Amino acid sequence: MAQEVEHVLGKDEVPGSSPGISSKKVTISFSCSRFFYFSKTTSFSIILFLYLFCLLTKNIINFIIFSNVEYFLGVFMNVILLSGGSGKRLWPLSDDVKSKQFLKLFKDENGNYESMVQRVYRQIKSVNFDAKITIATSKMQVDEIKNQLGKKVFISTEPSRRDTFPAILLSIAYLHYELGVKKDEVVVVCPVDPYVDNTFYEELMGLETIVKNSSVNLTLMGINPTYNSDKYGYIIPENERKISKVKEFKEKPNRELAKTYIENDALWNAGVFAFKLEYLLNIAKKEIDFIDYKDLYEKYEQLEKISFDYAVVEKEKEVQVVRYNGSWKDVGTWDSVCEIMTEKIKGKGVIDNLSTNTQIINELDIPIVCLGCDDMVIVANEKGIFVSKKECAGDLKKYVDKI
């Protein structure tokens, strides 16, 4: 285009004036063709710059998030939930078929009752939806697992109960031969009965990176003890750092010895074990000759009936512990259940005003009435009735064995 466009600075400037510069007026003139060429070039440059900037930013963000998400979440982490116990300490509600982990005693954030296994499964998935969870359980409990968690859940089935060591070995074989988990992948074993908030499982997910970056064979999680219990294993770390090599591990010492361990800054064993799959697969191969999961299943009765703590943890020299400083409760006895329950009465019952720190769990269709009861727990269903001082509730198992 030949038409000229004038930008006038100064009120006396007119078309056709000379291009000189004065203090009163300045005329800038250029052709429309040059203007549009300049505009198109500039626009293209700006668009190209913005595109490259966004692409670069996206790649940086992806690198930051996805290259480090494994540290924070342990993406595709392999978790084995131990859910095979009989739970005799929560008799009469729990038995061989409906163990304690299936009892719906606690409420979720929406006020709905859920079982221990449902709660733990939900919490792990809320922290890391992509975690691959396998339930290790006995064949008598498979139907209940599927009923509570769905039919698509991964299950390593024990043909019979032989304690945690054989159960974990069988689960490792299931992960490797049935699910295709590689030997260098990290596996975390966790019980279903801790009552914790999500920070516990956030720490649990972080174990994958800790194991991958460590030369030790086994990684544990330690809890600050609140009293000298004889129901837990004790971990004595070499130092007070967040992650420490383990100086000594002792499974369930008596209370006097437990007191000595606590004085030496020992931690409770949370029942969490993290390792590379190959480590335990090699131990399994040393225990028994087998080809795959189905073969080990058929030979399961040949495995020694012993806990993982005695069979592996106490013997292993290359162990480290990760401290967990959050709230942690082991839901294994009626007194611990009562500490967590939000209501005094579940089911039909009445407690008078003279009673203190007393709770009723009643599954019968008839009421229970408590008058002047202090520090007591009363549990009833069609299989039996349990009445106890809360401080004595931990001794229930040895009496149930006599029934």
Average pLDDT over residues 337-344: 92
Instruction: Give me the pLDDT at residue 95, please.
Output: 78
Find how far residue 316's CA is from the centre of its chain.
24
Cα–Cα distances in Å, from 234 out to 83, 220, 255?
22, 11, 11
Return the top range by mean pLDDT from 45-54, 73-82, 98-107, 126-135.
126-135
374-403: average pLDDT = 94
Q: What pLDDT shows up at residue 85?
A: 74
> Which pLDDT tens digit goes with each residue over 243-282?
999 999 999 999 999 999 999 999 999 999 999 999 999 9
Residue keyed to tokens 């019968």: 364
Write down the pLDDT at residue 37: 44
Nearest to 334 by CA among 296, 353, 360: 360
* Short-list 190, 193, 207, CA closest to 337: 193
What is the predicted pLDDT for the residue at 54? 58
**Count H helices, E strands: the chain?**
11, 21
**Torsion sign, CA atoms 164, 170, 173, 175:** negative
pLDDT in tens, 151-199: 999 999 999 989 999 999 999 999 999 999 999 999 999 999 899 999 9
Cα–Cα distance, 207 to 174 (Å, whole number): 21
**How confident is the model over 3-30, as pLDDT tens digits?**
443 344 444 444 444 444 444 444 434 4
> What is the pLDDT at residue 231?
86
Q: Each residue of 193-224: pLDDT tens digit?
A: 899 999 999 999 999 999 999 999 999 999 99
Q: How far apart are CA 213 and CA 215, in angstroms?
A: 7
Name the phi and psi angles at 28, rounded to 5. Answer: -115, 120
Global pTM reads 0.78
pLDDT at 153: 96
Query: Is residue 58 over pLDDT 70?
Result: no
Task: Please give the C-alpha separations between residue 255 and each of 249, 313, 330, in angstroms, as whole numbers.
Answer: 15, 20, 17
pLDDT > 90: percent of the chain:
71
Whether pLDDT at 239 is above 50: yes
pLDDT at 26: 41
In the predicted structure, residue 64 carries a pLDDT above the cut 90:
no
Extract the tokens encoding 5: 């466009």
pLDDT at 51: 62
Average pLDDT, the chain: 85
Length of the chain counted residue by residue? 403
Residues 228 and 349 sit within 8 Å (Cβ to Cβ): no
What pLDDT, on the 0 to 100 scale, is given for residue 41? 55
In the structure encoding, which two tokens stand for residue 155, read together?
């299950």
Q: According to the model, what pLDDT value does residue 240 have?
A: 92
Sign of the CA dihedral with 393 first, then 396, 398, and 402 last: positive
In sequence order, which residues have a C-beta less than 8 Å from that of residue 132 and are 6 or more positions away? 76, 77, 78, 79, 154, 179, 181
Q: How far is CA 240 from CA 102, 236, 268, 345, in A?
A: 37, 10, 14, 42
Give the least confident one: 35-39, 112-116, 229-233, 370-374: 35-39
Q: Are 334 and 379 in contact (CB under 8 A)?
A: yes
